[in-house]
Structure 1
């Protein structure tokens, strides 16, 4: 890895020690179109969270410059695998940018295998599946995917990009929530002080601003 990668890739950096959280309200430097599929089982449980991220062409080109070890201007299988291994290690610290709550309580998640990486049509792709702690389709369940450092912007362009799949997909009412930035700031003016950012960092605000899928399960 060349040293000039460090300032361009802090949010999905090769090693956790190279991740430099951006300041609160910082403008994102990395952009990706995202898709999330919540797989359900016949017995009414969430079994898997399937993620696909497609990164913007500018960022994707910079990755080629830094990881193309044989200088053939493309990423071969070995180079892609190296990126996947490093990103897997880095994002573990951030729960793979994924948040799951049941009735307001945070739920743990695990990654059963490495994040896979591909390069198609000039864009870097990452795809991986997460396994949450046991989740029964009951009550209010919320899923979000966001970078707590606010360095990378993961965008669900269409509501259908946050989908529920599998045998129990129709069991719960589904709603995609896209918070309004100005409204969030106005509603939280009392708490969004300098002390707020000093004690909590940008993660709390990024969670408030993140697009999320809410399930209401009877």
Structure 2
């Protein structure tokens, strides 16, 4: 994430998610994730739905930063402040979502702010991104989820956490791909090194590491 220039007091914890990849060699924030690729009856993808549940250490730090009245409860106004920050910040990183159609990059948009809640001591985020152009279920479609700064790890605990839903869910075959980081680095050493040191937050190579859901609609 990249901290919004507007700024709000007490954002030290969320600011950490904005730091460039050169600062960290491994993740420091962890979240259990779920992805639903929603389809329509006319054979298109309508939404990419995300749910992220963050680890208790990070969640507690967010509570301390945003609980302005000190009652250890995040009220609606405090949750709205978190929503504003993460919605603005994640836009610079396509909401940690990569979309490819037959190997070509697809574009997405966020129609509504990211919703946040605090349940059982953990911070949750809910949101859906939409393809900017109509996206028929045709060819090979891949949706990956990954933080390009490598500070946050979004973990899909089982393959059932990445699913195709909706009226045309059975039109394509699907599989979850979990790349081995060491293999990715070994196979792409030259291009990764050049891109990383040139602009660690602005390159398009993070999708190589992303756990992704691939749809084969041929």
Q: What's the TM-score once normalised by structure 1's chain length? A: 0.90
Alignment of structure 1 residues 186-205 onto 2, 5 Å: 186-193=186-193, 195-201=194-200, 203-205=203-205
How many residue pairs align between the two structures?
209
Q: 1:212 to 1:25 in 2, by over 3 A?
A: farther
Q: Distance in 1 between matches of 2:214 and 2:77?
A: 38
TM-aligned CA deviation for residue 2 of structure 1: 4.1
Query: Is residue 2:153 matched to residue 1:153?
Result: yes
- Given that residues 21 and 148 in structure 2 are in contact (C-alpha distance below 8 angstroms), is that contact kept between their aligned partners in structure 1? no
Aligned residue for 1:60, secondary structure, equals: helix
Aligned residue for 1:213, secondary structure, equals: strand
- Given that residues 84 and 116 in structure 1 are in contact (C-alpha distance below 8 angstroms), is that contact kept between their aligned partners in structure 2? yes
Q: Distance in 2 between matches of 1:92 and 1:11?
A: 16
Alignment of structure 1 residues 74-93 onto 2, 5 Å: 74-93=73-92
Query: Is residue 2:49 matched to residue 1:50?
Result: yes
- Given that residues 36 and 50 in structure 2 are in contact (C-alpha distance below 8 angstroms), is that contact kept between their aligned partners in structure 1? yes
The residue number in structure 1 matching 2:166 is 166
Query: Is residue 2:210 matched to residue 1:210?
Result: yes
The residue number in structure 1 matching 2:25 is 26
Q: Distance in 2 between matches of 1:112 and 1:68?
A: 27
Q: Distance in 2 between matches of 1:186 and 1:92?
A: 30
- Given that residues 24 and 150 in structure 1 are in contact (C-alpha distance below 8 angstroms), is that contact kept between their aligned partners in structure 2? no
TM-aligned CA deviation for residue 127 of structure 1: 0.1
User: Which deviates the most, 23-32 or 75-84?
Assistant: 23-32
Q: What's the TM-score once normalised by structure 2's chain length? A: 0.90
Q: Distance in 1 between matches of 2:186 and 2:70?
A: 50
Query: Where in structure 2 are there 5+ consecutive unaligned residues?
Result: 1-7
Q: Distance in 2 between matches of 1:189 and 1:77?
A: 46
Query: Is residue 2:45 matched to residue 1:40?
Result: no
Q: Distance in 2 between matches of 1:189 and 1:110?
A: 31
Q: Distance in 2 between matches of 1:77 and 1:84?
A: 10
TM-aligned CA deviation for residue 205 of structure 1: 4.5
Alignment of structure 1 residues 68-107 onto 2, 5 Å: 68-107=67-106
Following TM superposition, the consecutive aligned residue runs of length 4 or more in structure 1 with deviations greater than 6 angstroms are: none
Q: CA RMSD in A?
A: 1.7
Q: Distance in 1 between matches of 2:113 and 2:122?
A: 20
Q: What do residues 160-180 of structure 1 show as CA deviations (whole Å, max 9, x unaligned)?
A: 111100000011110100001
Q: Distance in 1 between matches of 2:86 and 2:24?
A: 24
Query: Is residue 2:8 matched to residue 1:9?
Result: no
Q: What do residues 114-160 of structure 1 show as CA deviations (whole Å, max 9, x unaligned)?
A: 10000000100000111112111000000011111111111111111
TM-aligned CA deviation for residue 109 of structure 1: 0.8
Aligned residue for 1:43, secondary structure, equals: coil
